[in-house]
């Protein structure tokens, strides 16, 4: 009898969860991701011009700009707001102009400014982490996001 | 806290530094093959927050990009120095490395040009040979290249050794330099960097020409090393009376000075001189560099037989002299 109750409880929880998520996404924070590629063209006079384009295809070495737009669509402030972007395996991190961002080089277990992180070598020694070692980037906001507030986060990457 | 004004300033900083980023990024393209053509890059960000109902996570939309094939080829002459050859020599190998620095499998055609200018002569290319993998030219074991029939197919980052075999024309001077250019050309196409060939890439995507423009060349060089020998012969006479008259019984001492010139070697240099008619060879009189030589055809360099003095000098490098003497009496 006890076993049956717990089973029924689990069932009701599972069916309830999608409903909760739906209700929240309707009036909570939304986040939108955009990827642009930086293409440089040189005109006849030798002047180079850099354009940001929305790509469908890229080649190794292409410079990508990732733009994340967020908005608090809710009626209440969103606290403990953290945006996390795991880097696609084929993209090497190439910096961010946002000093608030922290990065991880170990799959998201530890975080910090790149200069403070290190990579453990196979022989037990360690070396300073490099941009291409970055696995995740995240922004942890100290202040709640007021209702209706929107913002934009950016970082750069290179197609490996 | 990132606010609107903060992100606006950040955007300006981003654009201001973009030129620097571009220059530093260029070498990355040339070095490694990079992400394999056809790979799909997906990016999804997530946000967690608490707006009163506990911690909640939302995911962004997912951006997907496909990696196109980048055609990047490198040809590099890999002999450590000019390959030494001699006038008339055949099948002299020049060694090149052909490397696929692109990110997809690509087929390359190979061709040579020997009229490159800036050198002293045009080697006559007889064959292009694809190495079996050990980096050493082995006739009969390595594969002779036939254009259009066994064009090399290279995986990303794969490198093969190619030998270019040439005949060195005769009549060249010591120190003459001759070059051959080897070109590898992508079978997909060539053109300005950035040119795209729709649907021609690995996995059905586009193929885009990298900095090499679909082909690359390098020049390899031979240097002619030859040597020559000149022989000066002189004679001194001692007559039976202590004078220098040529009378029966006079002893004539012949001196042969062989002088070699040039940067090469003279292999198996043999000097022989017939004893003049009307004279008789003095047995055991041959010297080489002041050292007496036996008349027998044995281990030492000198011998006498059939009325001829013969001295085998072996291999002599350019810039040396060898002095041989022998004696004969006037009949």
Q: What is the CATH number of the domain that holds B75?
A: 2.60.40.10
Would the CB atoms of B48 and A34 count as touching at under 8 Å? Answer: no
Which domains, from first to last, does chain A contain?
2-159 (2.60.40)
pLDDT at B109: 97
Q: Do B136 and B165 sit in the same domain of this protein?
A: yes
Q: Do B148 and B236 sit in the same domain of this protein?
A: no
Cβ-Cβ pairs closer than 8 A, A with B, add up to 177
User: Is A36 touching B (CB cutoff 8 A)?
Assistant: no
The mean per-residue pLDDT over the stretch B108-136 comes to: 96
Q: Do B75 and B212 sit in the same domain of this protein?
A: yes
Q: Of B50, B69, B88, which residue sits at a domain end?
A: B69
Q: Are B98 and B75 in contact (CB under 8 A)?
A: yes
Would the CB atoms of A82 and B48 count as touching at under 8 Å? Answer: yes
Q: Do B196 and B78 sit in the same domain of this protein?
A: yes
- Least confident window among A13-27, A60-74, B268-282: A13-27
Q: Do B74 and B197 sit in the same domain of this protein?
A: yes
Q: Do B292 and B237 sit in the same domain of this protein?
A: yes
Tell me which chain A residue has its CA closest to the CA of residue B31.
A61
CATH of the domain at B286: 2.60.40.1170
Would the CB atoms of A159 and B44 count as touching at under 8 Å? Answer: no
Q: Are B283 and B327 in contact (CB under 8 A)?
A: no
pLDDT in tens, B262-272: 888 888 899 99
Would the CB atoms of A33 and B45 count as touching at under 8 Å? Answer: yes
- At residue B1, does pLDDT exceed 60? no
Q: Do B310 and B171 sit in the same domain of this protein?
A: no
- A24 closest CB neighbour out of B29, B53, B63: B53
Alpha-carbon span B329 to B239, nearest angstrom: 9
**A17 vs B75: which has the higher pLDDT:** B75
Domain with B63 in it: 4-69
Q: Do B187 and B242 sit in the same domain of this protein?
A: no
Tell me how far apart the 2 most distant CA atoms of chain A are, in Å: 84
User: Is A32 touching B (CB cutoff 8 A)?
Assistant: yes
Q: Are B300 and B293 in contact (CB under 8 A)?
A: yes
Q: Do B62 and B146 sit in the same domain of this protein?
A: no
DSSP strand pairing (B92-100 vs B73-77): antiparallel
The mean per-residue pLDDT over the stretch B249-278 comes to: 91
Would the CB atoms of B35 and A145 count as touching at under 8 Å? Answer: no
pLDDT in tens, B91-119: 999 999 999 999 999 999 999 999 999 99
Handedness of CA A25, A26, A28, A34 (dihedral sign): positive
Alpha-carbon span A72 to A146, nearest angstrom: 7
Please, which residues have CB within 8 angstroms of residue B204's CB and are 6 or more apart in sequence? B38
Q: Of B174, B196, B224, which residue sits at a domain end?
A: B224
User: Is A51 touching B (CB cutoff 8 A)?
Assistant: no
DSSP strand pairing (B106-113 vs B177-186): antiparallel
Q: Do B63 and B80 sit in the same domain of this protein?
A: no
Q: Do B190 and B206 sit in the same domain of this protein?
A: yes
The mean per-residue pLDDT over the stretch A122-137 comes to: 93
- At residue B6, does pLDDT exceed 70? no
Most confident of A17-26, A114-123, B29-38: A114-123
* Residue of A59, A90, A143 to mutate when probing chain B, most B C-beta within 10 A: A59
Alpha-carbon span A113 to B255, nearest angstrom: 87
B25 phi and psi, to 5 degrees? Answer: -85, -25
Number of domains in chain B: 3
Tell me which chain B residue has its CA closest to the CA of residue A152.
B7
- Least confident window among A154-158, B129-133, B225-229: B225-229
Task: Indicate the pLDDT class of residue B32, thresholds 50, 70 and 90.
Answer: low
Q: Of B21, B54, B69, which residue sits at a domain end?
A: B69
Partners of B255 in the β-ladder: B234, B325
């Amino acid at each position: 009898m006890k076993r049956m109750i717990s089973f029924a409880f689990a069932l009701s929880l599972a069916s309830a969860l999608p409903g909760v998520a739906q209700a929240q996404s309707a009036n909570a924070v939304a986040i939108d991701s955009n990827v642009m590629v930086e293409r440089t063209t040189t005109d006849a006079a030798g002047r180079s011009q850099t354009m940001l384009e929305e790509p469908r295809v890229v080649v190794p070495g292409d410079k990508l700009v990732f733009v994340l737009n967020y908005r608090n669509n809710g009626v209440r402030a969103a606290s403990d707001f953290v945006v996390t972007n795991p880097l696609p395996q084929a993209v090497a991190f190439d910096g961010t102009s946002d000093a608030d961002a922290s990065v991880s080089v170990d799959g998201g277990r530890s975080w910090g400014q790149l200069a403070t992180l290190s990579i453990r070598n196979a022989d037990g020694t360690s070396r300073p982490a490099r941009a291409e070692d970055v696995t995740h980037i995240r922004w942890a906001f100290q202040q709640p996001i007021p209702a209706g507030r929107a913002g934009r986060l950016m970082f750069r990457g290179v197609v490996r | 806290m990132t606010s609107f004004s903060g992100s606006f300033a950040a955007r300006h900083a981003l654009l201001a530094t973009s030129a620097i980023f571009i220059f530093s990024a260029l070498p990355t393209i040339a070095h490694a093959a990079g992400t394999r053509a056809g790979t799909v890059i997906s990016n999804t960000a997530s946000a967690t927050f608490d707006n009163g109902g506990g911690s909640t996570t939302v995911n962004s939309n997912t951006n997907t990009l496909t990696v196109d094939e980048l055609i990047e080829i490198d040809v590099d002459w890999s002999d450590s120095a000019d390959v030494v050859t001699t006038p008339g020599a055949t099948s002299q190998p020049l060694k090149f490395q052909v490397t696929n620095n692109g990110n997809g499998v690509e087929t390359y055609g190979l061709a040579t040009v020997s009229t490159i200018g800036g050198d002293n002569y045009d080697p006559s290319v007889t064959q292009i040979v694809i190495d079996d993998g050990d980096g050493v030219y082995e006739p009969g074991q390595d594969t002779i290249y036939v254009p259009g029939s066994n064009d090399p197919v290279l995986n990303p980052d794969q490198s093969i050794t190619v030998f270019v075999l040439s005949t060195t024309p005769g009549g060249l001077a010591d120190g003459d330099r001759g070059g051959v250019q080897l070109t590898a050309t992508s079978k997909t196409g060539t053109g300005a960097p950035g040119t795209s060939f729709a649907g021609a890439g690995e996995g059905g995507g586009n193929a885009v020409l990298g900095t090499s423009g679909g082909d690359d060349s390098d020049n390899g060089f031979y240097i002619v090393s030859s040597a020559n020998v000149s022989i000066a012969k002189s004679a001194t006479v001692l007559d039976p009376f202590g004078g220098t008259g040529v009378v029966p019984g006079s002893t004539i001492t012949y001196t042969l000075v062989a002088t070699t010139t040039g940067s090469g070697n003279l292999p198996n240099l043999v000097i022989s001189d017939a004893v003049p008619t009307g004279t008789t060879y003095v047995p055991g009189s041959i010297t080489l560099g002041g050292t007496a030589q036996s008349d027998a055809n044995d281990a030492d360099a000198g011998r006498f037989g059939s009325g001829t003095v013969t001295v085998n000098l072996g291999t002599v490098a350019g810039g040396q002299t060898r002095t041989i003497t022998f004696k004969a009496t006037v009949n």
